[in-house]
């Protein structure tokens, strides 16, 4: 697998199969999200929600593939992350673009996990078509408590497994702790969002558009990173 992913790519002269494949997947899931936005704009709620779920699935495949490729070093994270251009461009262009890209990816993932259940909670299905309900949308205090305690329970379980199975669980404990903390913070943020945007339909439209714009920007930054790494400034061997 490692040798296959390291073979010359098909998109750019200096690219690898691994880099090209992961870029193409990123392209596909972003376009699917944007098409899903188009369906929502045309008031086709059911096609919109189906495509959002498919794109979310593709995005997950992408992340697994990306992580797999990166951990194999295929995208050459060694040295200056495979960047072969001048120091000035590396410091002032490449690093800022890559940093913005990683921040947007994190935000996009968090928002997608928030928006999917919110979409179902904020809509009604009439005559086979999902429609947003224009009314106050609040999470019941009981549901809020159940979700928070479930997150706490899952974290405790993972922590216990790490302690039982690893010799040095510190690094993994911090990483999992941060992941569960982020999930709990996003759920906690719901209370603030409920105050700022009480109407469920308006909340879905405003946060949904923000999420879609973030996806479009992810496409721009990943294209820029790909072009810099494999077309404009590839590593000279």
Separation in Å, CA 229 to CA 51, 175, 222, 232: 31, 28, 11, 7
Rounded Cα–Cα distance for residues 206 and 174 (Å):
33
Q: Does 205 interact with ligand HEM (rule: CB under 6 A)?
A: yes
Residue with tokens 């979700």: 147
Q: 94: closest CA among 228, 230, 236?
A: 228
| CA neighbor of 114 nearest in space, from 214, 221, 186, 175 | 186
| CB-nearer residue toward ligand HEM: 147 or 206 | 206
Beta carbon nearer to ligand HEM, 26 or 40: 40
Reference 197, options 135, 145, 124; nearest CA is 135
The answer to the question of residue 130 lying near ligand HEM (CB under 6 A) is yes
Measured from each CB, the residue nearest to ligand HEM is 119
Kindly tell me which residue out of 209, 213, 227, 231 binds ligand HEM, with binding defined by CB under 6 A.
209
Q: What's the min distance (Å) between Cβ of 130 and ligand HEM?
A: 4
- Asked if residue 12 binds ligand HEM (CB under 6 A), the reply is no
What six digits make up the tokens of 79? Answer: 């040295």
200 near ligand HEM (CB under 6 A): no
Closest listed residue to residue 52, CA positions, set 28, 31, 33, 25: 33
| Residues in 41-100 that interact with ligand HEM by CB under 6 A | 41, 43, 45, 48-49, 52
Q: How far is the CB of 161 from ligand HEM (least distance, A)?
A: 30
User: Is 211 an interacting residue with respect to ligand HEM (CB under 6 A)?
Assistant: yes
- Sites of contact with ligand HEM (CB under 6 A): 37, 40-41, 43, 45, 48-49, 52, 112, 115-116, 119-120, 123, 130-132, 204-205, 208-209, 211-212
């Amino acid at each position: 697998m490692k040798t296959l992913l390291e073979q010359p790519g098909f998109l750019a002269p200096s690219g690898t199969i691994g880099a090209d494949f992961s870029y193409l997947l990123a392209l596909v899931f972003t376009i699917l999200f944007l098409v899903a936005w188009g369906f929502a704009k045309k008031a086709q709620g059911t096609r919109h929600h189906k495509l959002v779920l498919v794109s979310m699935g593709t995005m997950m495949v992408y992340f697994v593939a990306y992580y797999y490729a990166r951990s194999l070093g295929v995208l050459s994270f060694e040295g200056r992350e495979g960047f072969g251009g001048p120091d000035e461009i590396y410091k002032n262009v490449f690093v800022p673009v890559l940093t913005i890209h990683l921040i947007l990816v994190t935000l996009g993932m968090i928002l997608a996990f928030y928006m999917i259940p919110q979409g179902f909670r904020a809509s009604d299905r009439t005559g086979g078509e999902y429609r947003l309900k224009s009314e106050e949308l609040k999470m019941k205090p009981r549901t809020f408590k159940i979700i928070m305690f479930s997150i706490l329970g899952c974290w405790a379980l993972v922590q216990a497994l790490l302690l039982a199975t690893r010799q040095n669980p510190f690094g993994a404990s911090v990483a999992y702790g941060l992941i569960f903390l982020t999930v709990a913070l996003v759920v906690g943020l719901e209370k603030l969002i409920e105050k700022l945007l009480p109407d469920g339909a308006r909340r879905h439209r405003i946060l949904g558009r923000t999420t879609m714009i973030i996806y479009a920007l992810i496409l721009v930054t990943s294209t820029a990173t790909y072009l810099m790494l494999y077309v404009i400034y590839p590593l000279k061997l």
